[in-house]
Structure 1
């Protein structure tokens, strides 16, 4: 999920040709709705924010917080929390909602897993979220790089819990998903992003039921692993479509659902259809819990990794409570 900010390139990285999604076919020239007060956030200025930024810069690490322009970056970095984005800053997909650069990626940096682990240790993270760009250029979609990063963090910070937010591995050779699951992250997250009817314009390189099956397969490989997925609202979906996605997720045995407001990063990206009210988000949260999710986060500013550590603690507690009732 995105907003209007854009990160500077990391010093020392090669810079091949890049595109910020020129001319989307589904772009609307209509002005987007005015951003309401409940979606506004203050610019980051705290010392904690600067410390987190400096540690990330020292280790030459990218974050989805910057690359996707997350509105919560000031709050999260002030607390030393950052979602690290591995395998470069250039994505092989061109989703209409996303502000990450599309183009030809760099070669994988074999030293990156170690630098991520060092940053996790230096930041003192109890819970870390690792995500990536899509790497359809790689045979395994970067699955082994995810696994190496997980193992490096386990070595440096054995008490840290690890959440991965992966691509869909749609164009990979068999075994990619298994490689990540075998590395034993504590949470396996893959976002559905939107309702299936909007995939042709919002997420054209992906397939809704493939993404669902990916998450279902994680549970088949390791029933103890928490699974998580999220969607954005305000793209043009209706309430019934969101409720159907909830049912599909539960059919795939997904434990944790996130729902947040889509924010248009540039005029060339998919237009905001509307700003969903906090009351509607509360209604979605109530419905999702009623459908059996162990954990739900549904607010205008919810993002996949927003308050991920606190949410993970609640997720574990909810499972223990459920097992106690069984």
Structure 2
């Protein structure tokens, strides 16, 4: 009996640890999105792993940070004449994002090390959680690599690096949710249906990557109409054959068009998945409706981002919607994989 009680207590601690990490990474993605939407990501132009934990307190410290910002192209070409008060606004977004990233990483890694000393994890769990720990540190590097792309010759960060940074966070989030769902599952039954859901999940990740391109290129500030793009299904400056050329992925028109088309494609694919799983009585109807609702909600938010004139709060909700969509698909995968089909 004492061993059982102790094991239950440990399982409770592990569950709290994973849920806390899930919450922190979700918050990090939310704040990161707002940091991008408010164009605050370049306000801190250096990487101070330890000294950067504390914000500036004195007037001199604020002026030092502001002076560094004045040296980069974004200030010279876009924000010339910005006041210190205006700088503080964008500074705080980036500062909170960086601070939360440190907190999220430590909140995962330190308890993991503690649990390792208690020898409660299997080898597979150790490998799995070690991968997540490594991804946290890689995200820190990737974040700084992204910021560097906007400090010398550009007024914004590279949309390719922005996309990689967002995908990294979404992958960590997905792995955390996966680990919560399957924590007490002894065996995962990989079958045709689970592979089908995983394939669909890959398409969602690709759509998230293109969505980051849209954000990074400010592509939602053009063609703010729906269902047509200023009267055309395919805009005049979009050429389908050019999608084989990597340069097209740096064109705001091309990436917005692609983001729209993939959204329609996702609806079509999931309609088939919905019918197929329902017909074969693989999962309960309500789980399918949750995913379908998440997809429709995302599409509607995407339309509103455009037709509202690119309102920040709607764009932020659109990014939050991607988290809910990922969770709903992973939960559907869980439902088709916990028993033989």
TM-score, with structure 1 as normaliser? 0.31
- Structure number with the bigger relative contact order (C-alpha 8 A, sep ≥ 6) is 2
TM-score, with structure 2 as normaliser? 0.30
Which structure has more helix as a fraction of its residues?
Answer: 2
